[in-house]
Each structure stands twice: as C-alpha cells, then as structure tokens.
C-alpha cells in the first residue's frame, strides 16, 4: 500500500485519525466527510470531544500521517522535494491551534518548543507512544473506512463506530 502525500486518500487518513482517537477515548463522531467541490481534497471529522481528551484528539490527524510515514505507506509525489516533516506539520496547523487553544485565524507561527510538545503528545519522543497504540489496534478497520470515505465522500458516525468496533473485545 502506497499513499501519495497530500492526496485525497491521505487527507482521509488524517481525519480518520481524529475520529479514531476520539471514539477510542470515549468521545463521539457525528461524521467524516470530504468537503464537496474542494479541489484540494480537504476532509473534516466532526468529533464530539470531552474536555479531558480534547488535546489528544487534536493530535490524531498528525499522528495518523506520522503513522503512515513510519510504516512506509506514504510517499511524496514524483518531483515533490519538500521536507516531509514540514508537510506533516503544515497539514496539522489547525490541529496545533486546537491543541494550544488558539483562536481560528490566529498566528500560524508555533515555536520549536510548542511543536516538540505537540509532537510528543501525539507520538511520544520515540514515535511509539501518544496515540500510536490506538492506530496499531484499529489499523485494518481504518483502512476500510478510508476506502468507504473515498468512495462515498461521507461516512456517518454510526458507521465509523460499527466498523471500528470500539470497545469490542479482540
């Protein structure tokens, strides 16, 4: 499996990262959808977040992208010479705003210390902690939901819960 960075499928993974973390930690998901007519392929997850899990859910998209890269599932497109870490941090700009409690539209500048804390919260200092264990648990189900989202353009929260089987014994 190879996914091109910044493709629609890659964006689906990002949003599914938020939804999976949210459900696993006891929150809810109303839906995940591709934004209609958005040529960039943006997607969004509407999560119902409890205050005690808000910061971890904010990290979910970044962590999902990191997960794909660390498992060698994601790659840059031909001729794309951008630094991969800059792509992932750029894609998580709004997530970092949520993590730090900044208002939408506020400065997009984050200090190196803030980015390090955000990253460690998401994936741990070794890339194996944070919310990464959640993805290890649900990865096959996440693959199915990414396919469904890509085909239908929207997956309702009920379907996300059904496929992920959050709380079901293994």
pLDDT digits (tens, 9 = 90+) for 42-92: 778 999 999 999 999 999 999 999 999 888 898 887 888 888 878 888 888
Give the domain ranges of the chain: 3-164
Q: Could you tell me which of 66, 59, 85 has the C-alpha nearest to residue 136? A: 66
Q: Which CATH architecture has domain 3-164?
A: Up-down Bundle (1.20)
CA distances from 113 to 98, 108, 117, 120, 158 (A): 16, 14, 6, 10, 38
**Residue owning tokens 């010479």:** 81
Task: Compute the C-alpha angle 128/129/135, nearest 5°.
Answer: 80
Comparing 170 with 130, the larger pLDDT belongs to 130
């Amino acid at each position: 499996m190879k996914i091109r960075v910044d493709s629609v499928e890659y964006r689906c993974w990002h949003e599914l990262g938020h939804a999976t973390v949210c459900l696993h930690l006891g929150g809810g998901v109303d839906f995940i959808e591709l934004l209609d007519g958005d040529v960039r392929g943006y997607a969004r997850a509407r999560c119902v977040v409890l205050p005690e899990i808000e910061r971890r859910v904010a990290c979910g998209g970044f962590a999902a992208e990191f997960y794909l890269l660390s498992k060698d599932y994601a790659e840059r497109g031909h001729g794309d010479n951008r630094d991969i870490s800059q792509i992932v941090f750029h894609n998580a700009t709004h997530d970092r705003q949520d993590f730090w409690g900044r208002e939408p539209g506020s400065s997009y500048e984050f200090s190196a210390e803030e980015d390090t804390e955000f990253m460690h919260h998401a994936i741990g200092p070794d890339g194996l902690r944070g919310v990464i264990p959640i993805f290890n648990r649900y990865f096959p189900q996440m693959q199915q939901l990414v396919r469904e989202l890509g085909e239908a353009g929207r997956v309702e929260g009920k379907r996300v819960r059904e496929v992920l089987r959050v709380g079901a014994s293994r």
